[in-house]
Amino acid sequence: MTNPLLADWNTPFGLPPFDLISDDDFAPAVDAALTESRANIAAIAENPDAPDFANTIEALERADEMLGRVLGAFYNVAGADSNPKREALQREFAPLLSAYGSEVSENKALFARVEAVWEKRDELDLTDEQQRVLMLTRRGFVRSGAQLEGKAAEELRAVKSRLSVLGTDFMQNLLADERDWFMKLDKDDLIGLPDFVVATAKAAGDEKDAGGPVVTLSRSLIVPFLQFSERRDLRQKAYEAWGARGANGGETDNRGIAAETLKLREERANLLGYDTFADFKLETEMAGTPGAVRDLLMKVWEPAKAAAENDAKVLERLLHSDGFDGPLEPWDWRFYSEKRRKELHDLDEAELKPYLQLDRMIEASFACANRLFGLEFKAIEAPVYHPDVRLWDVTRDGEHVAVFMGDYFARGSKRSGAWCSAMRSQQRLSGDIRPHVVNVCNFAKPEAGKPALLSYDDARTLFHEFGHALHQMLSDVTYESISGTSVARDFVELPSQLYEHWLEVPEVLAEFATHAETGEPMPEDLLNRMLGAATYDMGFQTVEYVASALVDLGFHDGPAPADPMQRQAEILEEIGMPHAIRMRHATPHFAHVFAGDGYSSGYYSYMWSEVMDADAFAAFEETGDPFDAETAKRLEETVLSSGGSVDAADLYTAFRGRLPGVEALLKGRGLDKAA
Ligand SMILES: [Zn+2]
């Protein structure tokens, strides 16, 4: 029997035939697809015809068609519905795929053809999109070292392989430190802890065989402990253990790894012709240069610090009124901030939840997309990879736009978090290919017959992921490599974070946040408290985040520091870090930056996107109508349909008439009043 992954898919909209695919089909399909990819690459590299755009760049776009189709289905089930077999397959595929990737980027004959097309690009009469794809393709080769020869090429290979070992070690050390530490809580030690924290502490104690409740260094336990524990001595002990992860001496200490990593990254950048690693990393980002990143971070830093210092004074008074002398300490912040929050925005989750029904929130996200972009959603049936998955045919003016899949409920087989992925991306090179987009979330599943209810955070997550989905569904490009969300890392969160703003539009909540039993809309007072709570303590949150981003940047935009801990201390001193706040992630446990280089000199990008989403939503607010048709049309024509076919800064400028300013973000975070 033929492997269903490799056969034609005679399913509605060409969706993967999940009812026919078994786990045993994946490995042979990946194997066959890799063989096909390799044959395609060899055919391009060895083509006797003179290199041109079609026989080189377009051929490369098509080379992995089968592989993409197989992996699209596989990674979707591996993330959203895993099992031991699928986990083993993931471990098996990773080295195969990375070996294939290296083969392609190190193929000299192939690169020579890409380079030849690049050299004569001005004579080829290419469209703007084709020029962009050519530039990106060549840049990818150059950045992975295709231009290096002999000793330099070998050095680069050695540096990259050592860096990947260091990244894995860093993460494993961190996990070991997080796993090893716990603190037993006797009866007197539970004072102040709400039931849900006690329950979590008990479950953690059972897991550790500790014979009673414990605090661990898991964020979901230590943060509420620091928020609620009345025992200042225990808060201090737990906080200090949390801050010491990766810096406890011995075998799991990450400080040496951090120093070596920074040194090797500098070497890698130098080998490729860049002054610093930040120059190398930021070349492909919207920000472009370390200077632009620092500029933006500092514009946010000063007002955030001013707000945090005002807040610290209030919290310190609360500390003193509890009979303690001396300054407010980092282990006090969350505790007194929680007390103050209760006074200012008391919010009972139980009171709120019945108003946020999953189905109504899905309807709300669809209704906004309908008002803004004219999209319509019709539920359809087709084979799915899990019975909880729901499918919609997305149309506009009667024409098919995309298939949207929602996989909303938590289950043991799903990894944590929420994400959006495309099992198939939009493109026109191989016919009019429309996307298959899936949103995966981890919302609590209700008892049978009861409606699923969300927290406000959940509802925001739903809108966030749907914003990514729109970026995929509204994509309108020719080439898959630049389709949908294939954009710079510091640009990719713009559509998603922007979409969250429509959840906060009062008329949307008034229509869709209705009580599960009575159908009544959410009372205005509750609505205001909910919105107020969502932006509370922003000075603290901004300071702990921006400090981490500035340290990350400082590590990478000059010579590698011999002692990163000393450099970290210098940077914090220079920016005047408030006494009672520490970095959200200090160097020895800064996994974003050291467990792989995904976010190295890139931790700023969360803030960068937030500046943009606030500024972009202000474009709607300025018209007086959050659904202003002309602004929505411009948003689609510039940002949402273009994928990576145009430089991100140019797309944004086309939408807004200028680059983003920080004012809307400061206003949204309530930081504009403090400075
Ligand atoms: Zn996102």
Determine the Cα–Cα distance for residues 430 and 147; give it in Å rounded to an integer.
Answer: 31
Helices (H), 106-149: 108-119, 128-143
Residue 559 contacts residue 266 (beta carbons within 8 Å):
yes
What separation in Å is there between the alpha carbon of 342 and the centre of ligand 1?
30
**Which three-class secondary structure state does DSSP give residue 129?**
helix
**Which three-class secondary structure state does DSSP give residue 443?**
strand
Determine the Cα–Cα distance for residues 327 and 348; give it in Å rounded to an integer.
Answer: 31
What separation in Å is there between the alpha carbon of 466 and the centre of ligand 1?
9
For the CA atoms of 445, 447, 451, 456, the dihedral, rounded to the nearest 10 degrees, stands at -40
What separation in Å is there between the alpha carbon of 374 and the centre of ligand 1?
23
Residue 9 contacts residue 29 (beta carbons within 8 Å):
no
Answer positive or negative: Cα dihedral of 630, 421, 29, 103. Answer: positive
Answer positive or negative: Cα dihedral of 82, 86, 90, 96. Answer: negative
Residue 460 contacts residue 504 (beta carbons within 8 Å):
no
Question: Per-residue b/e over 56-73, b at no fewer than 16 CB within 10 Å?
Answer: bbbbbbbbbbbbbbbbbb
Determine the Cα–Cα distance for residues 467 and 461; give it in Å rounded to an integer.
Answer: 10
What separation in Å is there between the alpha carbon of 419 and the centre of ligand 1?
7
DSSP string covering 179-236: HH-EEE--GGGGTT--HHHHHHHHHHHHHTT-SS-EEES-HHHHHHHHHH---HHHHH
More confident residue, 354 or 534: 354
**The Cα angle at residue 111 between residues 425 and 282, in degrees rounded to 5:** 65
What separation in Å is there between the alpha carbon of 462 and the centre of ligand 1?
10
The residue type found at 520 is: E
Backbone phi and psi for residue 438, each to the nearest 5 degrees, phi listed first: -125, 135
Band (pLDDT 50/70/90 cuts) for residue 674 is low
Residue 675 confidence (pLDDT) above 50: no
Residue 7 confidence (pLDDT) above 50: yes
Question: Catalytic amino acids?
Answer: 465
**Which three-class secondary structure state does DSSP give residue 624?**
coil
**The Cα angle at residue 434 between residues 429 and 435, in degrees rounded to 5:** 110
Q: How many CB atoms lie within 10 A of CB 2?
A: 8
Q: pTM score, two decimals?
A: 0.91
Give pLDDT tens digits for 170-181.
999 998 998 889
What separation in Å is there between the alpha carbon of 494 and the centre of ligand 1?
8
- Percentage, residues of the chain above pLDDT 70: 100
Closest CA to 163 of 304, 276, 262: 262
**Which three-class secondary structure state does DSSP give residue 568?**
helix
Q: How many CB atoms lie within 10 A of CB 231?
A: 18
What separation in Å is there between the alpha carbon of 402 and the centre of ligand 1?
20
Band (pLDDT 50/70/90 cuts) for residue 1 is low
pLDDT at 533: 82
Residue 450 contacts residue 359 (beta carbons within 8 Å):
no
State the residue for tokens 């994400």.
419
pLDDT at 267: 97
What separation in Å is there between the alpha carbon of 639 and the centre of ligand 1?
16
Give pLDDT tens digits for 253-281.
999 999 999 999 999 999 999 999 999 99
What separation in Å is there between the alpha carbon of 496 and the centre of ligand 1?
6
What separation in Å is there between the alpha carbon of 487 and the centre of ligand 1?
13
Give pLDDT tens digits for 514-569.
999 999 999 988 888 888 887 889 999 999 999 999 999 999 999 999 999 999 99
